[in-house]
Every structure is written in structure tokens, then in C-alpha cells.
Structure 1
Amino acid sequence: MTAITEEQIRRRRFNLADYHRMGEAGILGDDDRVELIDGEIIEMTPIGSQHGGRVKRLVYLLTQAVAQHAIVAAQDPVILDDCSEPKPDLALLRPRVDFYTASHPRPADVLLLIEVADTSFQKDRQIKVPLYARHGIPETWIIDTEHQRVLRFAEPKDGAYQTEEEVDLSQPAPLPGLPGRTVDLAGLF
């Protein structure tokens, strides 16, 4: 028996228009936890109570930290290009009068994307972080619940983040694009 190579597998890639038509037609329902990544529809992990609780805590902390200087979005789509519309757990967005009702945010609107990783650490680290870097997202954090740490990725250049570091949870973390604004993550875990 001969092994099938990657070249022999034909994949059907989707763009944003295809993806949105599937939603409108009911092929992808409101209960389907999926996102479009590089033309593929990827199933997202279910949200457990630990994950949901950390997202809610982060929404609370970030909203207090940014006041009217930014918009905090939870589990909403961000359009990166015609083939990628991920749904990060949190996005810190530039203020916009319409609060993004006219269109989903795009890379130029994003200050920070955050992924909370209970069971999705490898996917977030290997797929989403590079995706965000390729699209020039200024900063991405992974909340690694297993190891009770926050990883910070910053300074995208040539499709990769130049800085990768663990956030010191004993100090308030500076928020990108918001000079003088910080968030205290000490009680996150």
C-alpha cells in the first residue's frame, strides 16, 4: 500500500464570501464554534467554565484599564485578509464611533489580541500567533492556564514576532498602543 502525500490531497479553500454565505444559508449555524484560518474552516474547542471565567475576568480588567481609550471585544471576529477571520478570545481595539457595527475590525484596528489556552495552547502558539504576526497585529498574548503564565508576542516583522517573553505577573502589564495604560494580571490564576 502506498502512502498518500500532501500533494495528492485536494483541499477546497474558502474565502470570506464563501464562509459568510455558509452562515447565511444555515450550513454553519450560530452554535457552530468555527473560524476561518488561511482558507480552512477550523473547529474551535468548546468553552469550559475555567476558560469562560478567565475571559470574563480579562474583559473586566481590560475595560477598567482602558476606559474610553479603547474597545474591549470578547470572542468576536477579526478580518485579517480575504481567507482569515479568526475569533480571538479578546481583542483590544482602537475606538471607533460605530463600535464596529459597520464592519468587523481589521489588523489596523487592533492593538492587542489575546488567546486563553486551556486545551488549545499548541494550536494558539503554532497557528494563531504566526497568523497574527503575518498580518501585523502589534501584540498578541497567550494566557497559558496549564502553566499559569502569560506569554507576550510583540514587534511583528517579516511575518514573525521579534519579541517573545513571559509577562511578569507581579507587575502591571503595559497595554500596547495606550501609553501609560496598564492592566494588573496578578489575580488571573
Structure 2
Amino acid sequence: MPRDGRGDDFVDRFAECLGSGPSASYMVRVQNPIVLDERSEPQPDIALVKRANYADRHPTPADVLLIVEVSDTTLDYDRDVKLALYARHGIPEVWLCDVKAGELAVFREPIEGQYRLMHKPTTSETVAPLWVPVVRVAVADVLA
């Protein structure tokens, strides 16, 4: 169901204050839509997007820097459907967190509807998005 961009903008502002801060070059969106095409408007768990005013529109693939999907009961759908959808629309990077297995998979380099590179970092590693390298996430902090 389509959502009001204004309400989403308020959610983004809260996430921004809690995450990146107002001076960062990116924004953190939490469970808010991104528009991939006329028929597809998924709501990823987290999206790092270029800083812009999204009160009147939702981000498009050109705005997205990173998608994070946290999968508990939706792992098959997120891995088999959403991941291909993101790759087909050129989303540069997706992190897929398998809650039940306690694993993180990092997907990069979308080509022809799939990601060319996949890496499963260990809990002793730190990961950073390619397009926002100042953001560093200790895998242990997320999966603990």
C-alpha cells in the first residue's frame, strides 16, 4: 500500500538523528519505500540514500547507496526475489542478514539481474558500504 511521503520524511529525520547526523552526505531510511519502477516499491528494512528532501517523492535506484534486509521469516523471499529485483535495478550493494543462522551476506556489483560478488563476513570482521566507507559496522555488534 502506498504511503505518505511526508510521514516517511519524519521517520527519516528520526533515523538521521540516531544514525548519520544532519551533516552527513547520506540519510538512513528505516522501512520506508524506494521506487524501483512503476510496479515495484519495496520497503527495505534499512536504506542508506543520498541526502535529499524526500517529502514529495521516494528515493529511486539512483539515490540508493545501500540496502539492508534483515530476514527472519522472509529469508527465501528476500534472497530469491528482492535481491534479484535490487540487482536488476542497479542497487550497488545489499546486505542480507539471516537472523536464524546469525549470518550476514554482502552483495555487490549488480550485473544482469544478479550480484557478481558475495561475501559472508565473520563475526570478527567489520564491514563498510562501498559508497559510504565512513560507516563501519562490526559484524559482532549486529549479530550478537
Aligned 1:149-164 pairs, distance under 5 A? 149-164=103-118
Which residue number corresponds to residue 83 of structure 2?
129
Question: Within 2, Cα distance between the matches of 1:173 and 1:164?
Answer: 13
Assess, with a 3 A threshold, how the Cα gap between structure 1 residues 121 and 67 changes in structure 2: closer, same or farther: farther
RMSD: 2.5
1:175 aligns with 2:129: yes
For 2:87, what is the secondary structure of its paired residue? helix
Assess, with a 3 A threshold, how the Cα gap between structure 1 residues 141 and 179 changes in structure 2: closer, same or farther: closer
Question: Within 1, Cα distance between the matches of 2:23 and 2:66?
Answer: 15
Deviation at 1:167, TM superposition (A): 2.1
Unaligned runs of 5+ in 1: 1-18, 25-58
Unaligned runs of 5+ in 2: 5-14
Aligned 1:92-171 pairs, distance under 5 A? 92-96=48-52, 98=53, 100-171=54-125
Which structure has the bigger radius of gyration?
1
1:88 aligns with 2:50: no
Question: Within 1, Cα distance between the matches of 2:21 and 2:107?
Answer: 20
1:99-128 CA-to-partner distances (Å, cap 9, x unmatched) read x11210000000011111011111100000
Which residue number corresponds to residue 75 of structure 1?
31
TM-score, normalised to structure 2, is 0.81
1:70-102 CA-to-partner distances (Å, cap 9, x unmatched) read 100000000000110000011011111x2x112
Question: Within 2, Cα distance between the matches of 1:129 and 1:150?
Answer: 14
Code of the residue aligned with 2:19 in structure 1: it is T
Paired residue total: 132
Identity %: 37
Deviation at 1:165, TM superposition (A): 1.7
